[in-house]
């Protein structure tokens, strides 16, 4: 057997194993989605969106309090996390570049991206919740902002670096100041990638449960005061799914379905923006 024939055989074996692994992984994914869709769709009703939580056995029970609380907590986190992440990524790409400070920030950001979310929740509990003496929606938003920030920062940094330097040089040659070059040239060239990073960051924090258990905790009733404990879809789903009551378990399945479809939609939208940019 020649060396070429051995390489062909090894290549075919590796291809078969890789394909088999991919099929197994995709199979588990569709299995999970199938079970989620079957149970989630069966539990959906108009009461889910129009009624608040109720004790077990009540038909007029829903997830309105959790949906509104989730939107508020994630919305506040997005409001603070997106501009901070974009500005920090802009500094790294356009001002810091390859300096020691910029490289240190990049390393810290990479570490933060891989840090367990429960650790961030415990940190916010120690520096925000404990001094305040009570849980709050603000503490939950702070925890989610910390989780979201490095994702948007690194994505913005990477996307801005992909913009050709010749575009910057042409704008400078026309007499444009640096801030206008960044705003009107660099951002426009990287807008699809930056938007993708924002969507992926929001999708990441929208499904977090552990940090909210330490910060915003939960509330079985509708509460829009960010200074008090607030309900969230993730924590409510956890509580309902692990309860011994069948009607609460159905609500847990409905919450899991709504949350999964929302996160899946954001991820697909982000991929579409990225493919659109590559297509250009």
Cα(146)–Cα(155) distance, rounded to whole angstroms?
Answer: 15
Within 10 angstroms of residue 5's Cβ, the number of other Cβ atoms is 9
Among 81, 228, 215, CA closest to 139: 215
Given a contact cutoff of 8 angstroms between Cβ atoms, the answer to whether 39 and 258 are in contact is: no
Please report, for residues 38, 85, 171, the alpha-carbon distance to residue 76 in angstroms, rounded to integers and kept in the order given.
32, 14, 36
Do residues 96 and 102 touch, judged by C-beta distance below 8 A? yes
CB 121 within 8 A of CB 143: yes
Rg (Cα) of the chain, in Å, rounded?
A: 23
Spatial separation of the C-alpha atoms in residues 273 and 280, rounded to whole Å: 11
CB 80 within 8 A of CB 87: no
Q: Write out the H or E segment, with its range, that includes residue 141.
A: helix 137-161
Task: Name the residue ranges covered by the structural domains of the chain.
Answer: 3-43, 49-279
Q: What is d(CA 87, CA 197) in angstroms, rounded to the nearest whole number?
A: 13
* Residue 278, pLDDT score: 61
Vertex 29: Cα angle to 237 and 264 (nearest 5): 60
Give the domain 49-279 fold: MetI-like fold (1.10.3720)
Q: Which residues contact 194 (CB under 8 A, 6 or more apart)?
A: 86, 155, 156, 159, 160, 187
Q: Among all chains, which residue has been given the structure tokens 């011994």?
A: 244
Task: Enter the tokens of residue 118.
Answer: 């429960």
Give residue 176's Cα distance to chain centre: 36
Place of tokens 């040239």: 185
Residue 24 to residues 13, 20, 27, Cα–Cα distance (Å): 17, 6, 5
For position 215, what pLDDT does the model report? Answer: 95
The end-to-end CA distance of the chain, in Å, is 47
Q: What is the pLDDT along the chain (280 residues), one digit of tens a residue?
A: 677 888 888 899 999 999 999 999 999 999 999 999 999 998 888 889 988 888 887 878 889 999 999 999 999 999 999 999 999 999 999 998 888 999 999 999 999 998 899 999 999 999 999 999 999 999 999 999 999 999 999 999 999 999 998 989 898 888 889 989 999 999 988 888 898 889 889 989 998 999 999 999 998 888 899 999 999 999 999 999 889 998 899 999 999 999 999 988 888 887 787 776 665 5
């Amino acid at each position: 057997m020649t060396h070429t024939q051995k390489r062909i055989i090894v290549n075919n074996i590796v291809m078969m194993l890789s394909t088999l692994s991919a099929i197994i992984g995709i199979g588990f994914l569709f299995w999970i989605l199938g079970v989620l869709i079957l149970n989630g769709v069966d539990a959906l009703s108009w009461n889910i969106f129009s009624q608040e939580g109720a004790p077990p056995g009540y038909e007029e029970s829903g997830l309105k309090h959790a949906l509104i609380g989730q939107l508020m907590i994630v919305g506040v986190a997005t409001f603070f996390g997106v501009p901070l992440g974009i500005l920090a990524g802009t500094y790294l790409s356009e001002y810091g570049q390859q300096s020691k400070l910029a490289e240190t920030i990049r390393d810290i950001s990479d570490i933060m991206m891989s840090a367990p979310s429960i650790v961030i929740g415990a940190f916010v509990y120690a520096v925000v919740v404990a001094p305040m003496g009570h849980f709050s929606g603000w503490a939950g938003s702070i925890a989610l902002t910390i989780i979201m920030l490095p994702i948007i920062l690194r994505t913005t940094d990477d996307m801005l670096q992909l913009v050709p330097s010749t575009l910057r040089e042409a704008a400078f040659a026309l007499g444009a100041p640096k801030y206008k070059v960044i705003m009107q040239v660099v951002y426009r060239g990287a807008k699809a990638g930056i938007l993708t990073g924002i969507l992926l960051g929001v999708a990441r924090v929208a499904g977090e449960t552990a940090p909210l258990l330490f910060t915003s905790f939960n509330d079985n009733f509708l509460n829009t005061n960010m200074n008090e404990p607030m309900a969230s879809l993730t924590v409510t789903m956890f509580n309902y799914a692990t309860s011994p009551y069948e009607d609460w378990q159905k609500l847990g399945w409905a919450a899991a379905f709504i949350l999964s479809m929302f996160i899946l939609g954001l991820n697909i939208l982000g991929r579409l923006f990225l493919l659109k940019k590559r297509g250009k």
